[in-house]
């Protein structure tokens, strides 16, 4: 979807409201908002893709999801030509999920996102709790970072750990970070010291899928022309000429290894067509 354009749609005492075309580059939108002095998207810097795709996946990184900044979107019903206005509640956002990944909202259903409107609160607070981000800021000796410094740190970490899709084809994080109940999290932590755990507001615990994959022996390991990236075990890479069947075979092998070692089920982020 090549619809471009970005604008400050409105402003009030509490927030800035930014509207962008679905074809806008996501990272460029993040940079532009920061250049205007509107913080709030900095933790989502350098995520590849377009604005229109961002709510589909409910993109997220370093403690922030687009759901946290989302106000509404517009979509075109290709059959009727009508514009649909979808608010946050109707999106049914969840961890790396939304209503748009369900049947009836796919492109083959004839509905296409055209514009997204975001709400950037003026009561800004830095989100620096994730270990990689905190370590990067500490290394730069930044104790009280502003939004642009956080975006720069996020960008640096992502470039260091993640391969460029244009050079080494990949879809970013291939598996969801699994969610388990608190009791299961405690049991796993007692068996596996050093297990990264992130408590959630609903009482569950998020586990680091990359750590589980690495501890299961798959970091940097290949299966034919596909493999798990040597710098970030959560990223599945195509080293050249891989088929869809080979990608799925590797994904299943990784899932089986994690299931056997930890009793935890990994779920792929990409939608298999």
Lookup result for tokens 């939304």? 98
Dihedral sign (CA 258, 264, 265, 268):
negative
**Catalytic hit among 72, 98, 173, 216:** 173
Q: How far is CA 261 from CA 178, 188, 215, 218, 232, in A?
A: 14, 11, 9, 12, 19
Out of 19, 31, 69, 96, the active site residue is 96
Reply yes or no on whether 96 is catalytic.
yes
Classify residue 108 as exposed, middle or buried by CB count within 10 Å of its CB (0-12, 13-18, 19+): exposed
CA atoms within 13 A on the CB side of 141: 0
Catalytic residue among 24, 42, 65, 269: 269
Residue 173 is among the residues annotated as catalytic for this protein: yes
Q: Is 65 a catalytic residue?
A: no
- Give the CA radius of gyration of the chain: 19
Active site residues per annotation = 96, 173, 269
């Amino acid at each position: 979807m090549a619809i471009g354009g970005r604008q400050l749609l409105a402003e009030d005492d509490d927030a800035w409201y930014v509207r962008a075309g679905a074809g806008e580059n996501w990272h460029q939108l993040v940079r532009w908002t920061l250049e205007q002095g509107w913080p709030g998207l900095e933790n989502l810097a350098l995520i590849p893709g377009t604005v229109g795709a961002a709510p589909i996946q409910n993109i997220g990184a370093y403690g922030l999801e687009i759901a946290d900044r989302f106000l509404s979107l517009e979509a075109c019903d290709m059959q009727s030509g009508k514009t649909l206005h979808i608010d946050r509640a109707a999106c049914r956002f969840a961890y790396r999920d939304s209503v748009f990944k369900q049947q009836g909202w796919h492109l083959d259903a004839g509905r296409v996102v055209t514009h997204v409107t975001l709400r950037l609160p003026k009561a800004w607070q830095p989100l620096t709790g994730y270990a990689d981000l905190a370590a990067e800021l500490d290394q730069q000796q930044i104790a009280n970072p502003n939004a642009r410094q956080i975006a720069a740190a996020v960008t640096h970490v992502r470039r260091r750990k993640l391969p460029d899709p244009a050079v080494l084809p990949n879809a970013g994080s291939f598996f969801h970070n699994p969610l388990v109940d608190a009791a299961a999290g405690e049991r796993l932590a007692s068996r596996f010291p050093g297990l990264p755990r992130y408590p959630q507001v609903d009482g569950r615990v998020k586990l680091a899928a990359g750590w589980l994959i690495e501890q299961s022996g798959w970091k940097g390991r290949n299966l034919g022309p596909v493999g798990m990236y040597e710098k970030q075990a959560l990223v599945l890479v195509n080293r050249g000429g891989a088929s869809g069947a080979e990608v799925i075979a590797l994904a299943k092998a990784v899932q089986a290894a994690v299931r056997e070692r930890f009793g935890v089920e990994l779920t792929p982020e990409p939608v298999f067509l």
